Amino acid sequence: MQATTNHQIIFKITIGVLIGIFTLMGYLYLGAQNETLELQKSLTNKVEQLAETEAKLDSIARELDTKITQVRQLGGNVTELRKIRQQLENDKKKLKYDFSFSAQNYQFKIREYENYLTTKDDDIRQLRAENGTLLSRAKELEAEKQHVINENAGLKTEKEALSQTVASYSAQNDDLKRKVNLGSALKAVEVQVAAVSSGGRERSGGSYKASRIDRLKISFTLPANPLTAQNTKDIFVRIMDSNGAVLSETGVGGVLFYEGREIGYSIRQPVYYENNDQKVDVLYRKDTSYKSGKYTIELYAEGFRIGTGSFEVK
């Protein structure tokens, strides 16, 4: 009898423990369900705030683009607007990866952007007003311009006639200058080329062996001309081979201007013009031997070609 009583007591305790366990599990389950619901509500709320914030930033971006277009069309400076637009774009990119998203922080930024847009509205109104004033002034100036054109219409024919007269005199003056320049230009006549050997022996005749040419002696006469100024003239000598290539040694030759272009020369020698049919000799030395063929000599001074000559190398 006592044993039966003990079994009943143990059974009741066991049942009580199981009921307690199930009660605890039920409580824990309900608590977990409540936490999940709260978390879902929090996430849903954050997603909604995130979407709303993104939509506001997109709207502000469109307004900024509109402002940039308006200011550019009005001739204003859009540098600051572009800078703000780029800043907004950076905020939009950051929003996509902002795990610590706070709607309050972004609301503050959005208010700043909206205040900036309001300020730009004022600037645009001022630009439009200034452009209106400028347009009005431009119309006034155009009217004044037309008035001046009308007043000067009677002078147009006289001006054209005067221009033609000036052009005619200018052409005559240029022609006279050209004739004077031609008349006063130097002339080089009796151009002769001799070959001077390394021993100093001079050969003439115009045809020489390459082995016997150490230097060339170019001789010519400058005839007297009363129109030519007596002063130092730079005589430029061009020596050209049968292919038209100009002989030139480093430090001796160079380029000169002739008829609006640069041409090479072989040697330059200053000569004081005495106006007395003076004889002039120019010595030219070439470091390498001469190739066989016919060579041409051209003489230049004061922008004119004053004489020519030739020789042959066997």
Q: What is the CATH number of the domain that holds 205?
A: 2.60.40.2550
Structure tokens at 219: 């001789």
pLDDT on residue 148: 74
Whether 123 and 15 share a structural domain: yes
pLDDT at 24: 64
Of the CA atoms within 13 Å of residue 227, those in its CB half-sphere come to: 10
pLDDT at 249: 87
User: What pLDDT score does 123 carry?
Assistant: 81
Query: Which pLDDT score, from 0 to 100, does residue 175 have?
Result: 45
pLDDT computed for residue 312 by the predictor: 97
Q: Are residues 124 and 198 in the same domain?
A: no
pLDDT at 176: 37
Domain presence at residue 149: no
CA-to-CA dists, residue 41 to 34, 36, 46, 47, angstroms: 11, 9, 9, 10
Domain boundary among 99, 128, 157: 128
Kindly give the parts of the chain with pLDDT less than 50.
169, 171-182
Residue 15 sits in the same domain as residue 123: yes
Q: Which of 128, 160, 179 is the last residue of a domain?
A: 128
Q: According to the model, what pLDDT value does residue 259 have?
A: 92
197 and 121 in a single domain? The answer is no
**Percent share of the chain, pLDDT over 90:** 38
Q: Is residue 16 part of a domain?
A: yes
pLDDT of residue 180: 45
Q: How far from chain centre, in Å, is Cα 274?
A: 53
Quickly list H helices, the chain. Answer: 2-73, 79-96, 103-184
Do 123 and 209 belong together in one domain? no
DSSP 113-126: HHHHHHHHHHHHHH
Q: Is 96 found in the same domain as 27?
A: yes
Q: Is residue 117 part of a domain?
A: yes
pLDDT for 218 equals 97
Q: Domain check: are 209 and 291 in the same one?
A: yes
Q: For residues 309 and 286, give the distance between their C-alpha atoms in angstroms, rounded to a whole number.
A: 18
Number of separate domains in the chain: 2
The answer to whether position 82 is within a domain reads: yes
Domain match, 108 and 194 both? no
Q: Are residues 118 and 198 in the same domain?
A: no
297: domain range?
A: 189-313
Instruction: Please tell me whether residues 207 and 295 are part of one structural domain.
Output: yes
Q: How many CA atoms lie within 13 A of 213 on its CB side?
A: 26
Structural domain ending residue among the three candidates 79, 95, 128:
128
Give the integer Cα–Cα distance in Å for 16 and 307: 139
Does residue 296 sit in the same domain as residue 194? yes
- In this prediction, residue 63 carries a pLDDT of 86
Residue 162 lies in a domain: no
Within a domain: residue 93? Answer: yes
- Tokens 């607007």 label which residue? 81
Enter the DSSP assignment of 290.
Answer: P
Tell me, yes or no, whether 124 and 7 share the same domain.
yes
b/e string for 117-153 if b means 16 or more Cβ within 10 A? beebeebbeebeeeeeeeeeeeeeeeeeeeeeeeeee
By the 8 A CB rule, do 107 and 54 touch? no
**Bridging pattern class, strands 304-313 and 207-208:** parallel
Residue 170 in any domain: the answer is no
Q: Does 160 map to a domain?
A: no
Q: Are 294 and 308 a contacting pair, CB within 8 Å?
A: no
